[in-house]
Amino acid sequence: MAVEYSASWVVISLGNRFRGDDSVGPYILHRLRSQLAGIAECIENSGDMTRLMEDWSGRRVCMVDALVDDSREVGDILRLDGLAEPMPESVSTTSSHGLNLGEAIELGRIMQALPLELKLFGICGRNFNTSAELSPAVIDAAVIVEKEILEQLIPQGGDHQCTNNP
């Protein structure tokens, strides 16, 4: 039976899993899938930004992607509130598929198809060649982002968040 996720968290990865550091999003998503079973949906998006509006509308989203930013070190992690904070160019222009992430957010705003919450995790990469491995610094960063997403989605040791105040 299909699990209903409509009101819950969704983790979305951007990037191409065969293009070196661009695959860090799908890599993190792959590691999260089994840990988030029944808690959050995991969606791999490799470039169709219009799909984002369908996938994130009215939901809470963690999004992971690779960045190209010469002013940062490989493996640097950029954390953003995608709905509230201004988006640096290295993030807003992510995806080369006609529309970019910044446009997808703006389009979502106009079409009233925004997520309730959009946590963006961008990891700076260096090698985007086809069939290249992830850079070691990117793998280290991926582990940190994975942990942060798990803490966000499973705050209390694997169970749902406790709301009681002792």
Distance CA 117, CA 129 (A): 32
Distance CA 49, CA 43 (A): 13
Distance CA 23, CA 29 (A): 10
Residues 6+ apart with CB under 8 A from 89: none
Distance CA 46, CA 57 (A): 18
Select from 2, 86, 110, 157 the one that contacts other proteins (CB under 8 A): 110
Stretch binding other proteins (CB under 8 A), from 33-41, 51-59, 80-88, 147-155: 51-59
2 binding other proteins? (CB under 8 A): no
Minimum CB separation of residue 109 from other proteins in Å reads: 9
130 binding other proteins? (CB under 8 A): yes
Minimum CB separation of residue 93 from other proteins in Å reads: 8
Which positions lie near other proteins, rule CB under 8 A?
Answer: 16-18, 44-48, 50-51, 53-54, 93, 96-99, 103, 106-107, 110-111, 128-131
